[in-house]
């Protein structure tokens, strides 16, 4: 039988990009619920809308590609920092750097379009 730790060890590099990919609409959903005072029961509908708007519909814009590239680069930096470290660090550090890269790129895109 295959041990669960061996499976995670073989595919640890998939976890941080998926966390960032599904966390981006989660961030926007939380922001939209707080901004507009929507009920928590509409969470699933808002999450689907945010996932569609930010990941599917905006896929061909410059801003989305800039965000994707900078988030990917920050995840790669996190991978490089945690090389030859424990498995938990190899999962958490790239995820954290990916979210910080996403927020930084979001601020840069907002500054670019504000000019």
> Is position 7 within any domain?
no
> Is position 93 within any domain?
yes
| pTM (global) more than 0.75 | no
> Is position 8 within any domain?
no
Work out whether the CA dihedral 56, 58, 52, 111 comes out positive or negative.
positive
> Is position 107 within any domain?
yes
pLDDT of residue 93: 92
> Is position 10 within any domain?
no
Percentages helix, strand, coil for the chain (3-state, rounded to 5) are 90, 0, 10
Comparing 79 with 14, the larger pLDDT belongs to: 79
Domain count, the chain: 1
Using a pLDDT cut of 90, give the percent of the chain over it: 21
Between CA 46 and CA 35 the distance in angstroms is: 13
The domain of 101 spans 15-114
> Is position 43 within any domain?
yes
Q: Which residues contact 12 (CB under 8 A, 6 or more apart)?
A: 87, 90, 91
Q: Mind listing the pLDDT tens digit for each residue in 7-24?
A: 776 777 787 788 877 888
> Is position 9 within any domain?
no
pLDDT of residue 3: 78
> Is position 3 within any domain?
no
């Amino acid at each position: 039988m295959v041990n669960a730790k061996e499976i995670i060890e073989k595919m640890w590099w998939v976890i941080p990009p998926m966390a960032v990919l599904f966390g981006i609409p989660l961030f926007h959903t939380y922001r939209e619920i707080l901004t507009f005072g929507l009920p928590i029961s509409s969470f699933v509908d808002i999450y689907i809308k945010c996932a569609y708007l930010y990941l599917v519909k905006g896929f061909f814009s410059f801003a989305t590609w800039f965000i994707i590239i900078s988030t990917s680069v920050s995840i790669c930096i996190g991978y490089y920092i945690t090389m030859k470290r424990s498995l938990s660090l190899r999962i958490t550090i790239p995820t954290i750097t990916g979210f910080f890269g996403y927020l930084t790129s979001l601020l840069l895109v907002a500054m670019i379009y504000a000019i």
